A and B are shown apart, each in its own frame.
Chain A
Amino acid sequence: MADNGAADPGNNNNNKPDASEGTIIKVTVKTPKDKEEIAISEDASVTQFKEEISRRFKAKQDQLVLIFAGKILKDGDSLNQHGIKDGLTVHLVIKTAHKAGDGASSSPSSSSSTQAGSSSSPSPGTNPSTAGTTGPAAPPTQTPNILTGFGDLSSLAGLGMGSANFMELQQQMQRQLMSNPEMLSQIMENPLVQNMMSNPDLMRQMIVANPQMQQLMERNPEISHMLNNPELMRQTMELARNPAMMQEMMRNQDRALSNLESIPGGYNALRRMYTDIQEPMFSAAREQFGSNPFSALGGNSESGAQPSRTENREPLPNPWGPPSSTSSSENGGGTTAGTGTTTGTNPSVSNPLGINAASLGNGMFNSPGMQSLMQQISENPQLMQNMLSAPYMRSMMQSLAQNPELASQNPASSPSAGTNTAQQQQLMQQMLQMFAGGGGGGTQTPEVRFQSQLDQLNAMGFINREANLQALIATGGDINAAIERLLGSQPS
């Protein structure tokens, strides 16, 4: 008559295999954020248990507070004493001076003084982008929210704030930063930080390593596209570094967008853009990044430089599609092309603005703005390349390639553009080539920019200038990466 489930408190009702026939038991250790299963002898003392835990959670033993069944486990006790058996759960709290593993700063006054004091000796440079740094000298405190990308640098325990859990540290810093904008600019100005930020790979690694970011990326693949474009990263970072530039960029973009509104159907497209893309991303990013300019990086890719315009804001960087008068507002911004997504395709993830590639050529081609775009493009191949670095260009290209009629339709329907079929095709090829060449570009041609790198590659024996250039473009000027690319592509 007894109810087994209720009447057996110590019963192992969960599915653990009976591992306690020896003396090893498996105990689940749970923190508010995390959960690990730890195997330990059932006769062990709390101290031994903590040793094991400190290894697994990468925290110091004296920072660990174990709670079981509402009681704090003292070091001198044994697990047996508290009745800790196989399959049960112990709660763990990782204290960090005044922290208890539950989040960020509790005593802002003391933490802010430490931060302010050490803001001149930033440690971002000492923290390699991957997690698991071994204890840099300088306190990591004032590094800005970009450090969310650092992942769990809990080995930083004992440093600076003594934060065992880097997440807490970050949150703490975020709070600091949010309440003190000057601090942010201070940080930004610091050469070390700037140095770090100018390394796109580093930044990308950091950002990607952050689990929150990863979630964000899952939700919005554009972000991962954006992150993978080295050029874009660099420009974004420069932007972040230079708030004035960022503002300028935003302004340009806003202007472009407002132009969009004036096309028929443009407003709807805009709205769709916003609700489908920007809102979730922005709010997702805002949780983590607060008011940090890097929120742009994570949540709002439009703050990326010109090429990034194509990432999320434009319905379609259609080479033949009309920029619909946005090209008039900026040269580089010609990428905000073809917004009149009057086609009926609903926005999907890879085609965020609902561009129905098939019907592209039709409505858009005839507007005057389009023609000026064409001209600009022909004059500035770089622009074309920028436009093309958007990921979904690829899909559009494919569909266009498959649909030669469409392609021919395009040239045909813009008589006054002065572009004839041959030119169009040439343009197409050029675009394809550039696109294949990967994202790159800026205001100078790659050759000019990578001149020194090209020379170096030459000196090293890579004599294929074309290939070198391609590799450099693809890696954004990073010689080592370019070499690897080159070596990788050569038959061995």
Chain B
Amino acid sequence: MAASSGVKVPRNFRLLEELEEGQKGVGDGTVSWGLEDDEDMTLTRWTGMIIGPARTNYENRIYSLKVECGPKYPEAPPTVRFVTKISMNGINNSNGTVDSRSIPILSKWQNSYSIKIVLQELRRLMTSKENMKLPQPPEGQTYSN
């Protein structure tokens, strides 16, 4: 089955493709993602990493995230959760979950989006006026769950 546009690509193929991209470092090097567990045959649990953008309060920090691509992915958006503590609009302060309704890319999800795009978008949101100056917790803290 060819993965040409317009055809609905099976979930696993999509995820495998994203895995490959993550390993090859596609993109500008400011986000990274990969399977949390290489043995995970369902390709559900992913870890992501965002490097805090310059000139913001997030700068110089590496944010670790967990992304879960459910069975309906890519039709349904993944659930995203920050592992590293962060103070940002749309991110739950106590457990780091990303509120799908407040992050536009998740609320208006399209199946052409990908984990990479989600991470990049989160990074972009870090540079928004409302977020960039938010005081951040000390570096290195993580949510307990």
Interface residues of A (CB under 8 A from B): 1-3, 5-11, 13-14, 28, 30-32, 35, 65, 67-72, 83, 87-91, 93, 95-96, 98-104, 106, 171
Given A6-B13, A9-B20, A69 contacting B3 (CB threshold 8 A): no
**Distance of A179 from chain B, by nearest CB (Å):** 13
| Across-interface contacts of A90 in B (CB, < 8 A) | 25
A3–B9 Cα distance when bound, in Å, is: 10
Q: Which of B29-37, B89-97, B104-112 contacts A (4 or more CB under 8 A)?
A: B29-37
0 or 1 for each of B48-92: is its CB under 8 Å from A? (1 = yes): 110111110101111011000000000000000000000000000
Given A32-B30, A104-B54, A106-B60, answer yes or no on A68-B23 (Cβ-Cβ < 8 Å): yes
User: Which residues of the partner chain A approach B16 to less than 8 Å between Cβ atoms?
Assistant: 6-9
A98 touching B25 in the complex, CB below 8 Å, given contacts A72-B62, A72-B64: no
Whether B47 and A88, one on each chain, are in contact in the complex, defined by CB atoms closer than 8 angstroms, is no
Question: Is B41 in contact with chain A by the CB < 8 A criterion?
Answer: no
The smallest beta-carbon distance between A6 and chain B, in angstroms, is 4
Contacts of A28 in B (CB 8 A): 25
Q: Could you tell me the distance in whole angstroms from the C-beta of B84 to the nearest C-beta in chain A?
A: 10
Are A32 and B60 touching (Cβ within 8 A)? no
Ordered by A's residue number, 11 sampled pairs between the chains whose C-beta atoms are within 8 Å are A7-B13, A35-B29, A67-B32, A69-B32, A70-B33, A70-B47, A72-B64, A99-B60, A101-B60, A104-B55, A171-B54
Q: Are B20 and A83 in contact (CB under 8 A)?
A: no
Write out the residue numbers on chain A whose beta carbons fall within 8 Å of the beta carbon of B121. Answer: none
Among A2, A28, A103, find the residue whose CB has the most chain B CB atoms closer than 10 A.
Answer: A103
The 8 A CB mask of B1-40 against A (1 = contact, 0 = none) is: 1110000010001101101101111101110111110100
Chain A nearest Cβ from B120, distance in angstroms: 13
Instruction: Kindly name the residue among B24, B29, B46 whose own CB sees the greatest number of chain A CB atoms within 10 A.
Output: B29
In angstroms, Cα B25 to Cα A13, docked, is 13
Q: Which residues of B contact A32 (CB under 8 A)?
A: 28-30, 51
Question: What residues of chain A lie closer than 8 Å to B33, measured between beta carbons?
Answer: 69-70
| CB pair B29 A88 closer than 8 Å | no
A residues less than 8 Å from B25 (CB atoms): 28, 30, 88-91
Complex alpha-carbon distance, A71 and B33, angstroms = 7
**Could you tell me the distance in whole angstroms from the C-beta of A112 to the nearest C-beta in chain B?**
16
Q: Which residues of B contact A91 (CB under 8 A)?
A: 25, 29, 32, 49, 51
Q: Within 8 Å CB of B32, what residues of A?
A: 67-70, 91
Asked whether, in the complex, the Cβ of A31 is within 8 Å of the Cβ of B55, the reply is no
Contacts of A14 in B (CB 8 A): 24
Contact of A71 among B3, B47, B51, B54 (CB under 8 A): B47
Selected from B38, B61, B64, the residue in CB contact (under 8 A) with A100 is B61
Q: In the bound complex, what is the Cα–Cα distance between A106 and B22 (angstroms)?
A: 27
Q: Out of B3, B9, B49, which one reaches A67, CB within 8 Å?
A: B49
A375 to chain B minimum Cβ distance, whole angstroms, is: 55
Q: Is the CB of A103 within 8 A of B64?
A: no
Q: Which residues of chain A are near B13, meaning CB under 8 Å? A: 3, 6-7
Q: How far is the CA of A10 from the CA of B21 in the complex (A)?
A: 10
The answer to whether A93 and B62 touch (CB under 8 A), given A68-B32, A69-B32, A69-B34, is: yes
Cα A83 to Cα B139 with chains together (Å): 28
Q: Which residues of B contact A101 (CB under 8 A)?
A: 51, 60
User: Which B residues are CB-close (under 8 A) to A8?
Assistant: 16, 20
Closest CB-CB distance, B142 to chain A, in whole Å? 12
- Top-8 shortest CB links A-B: A69-B34, A89-B25, A103-B54, A100-B60, A70-B47, A70-B33, A30-B29, A70-B34
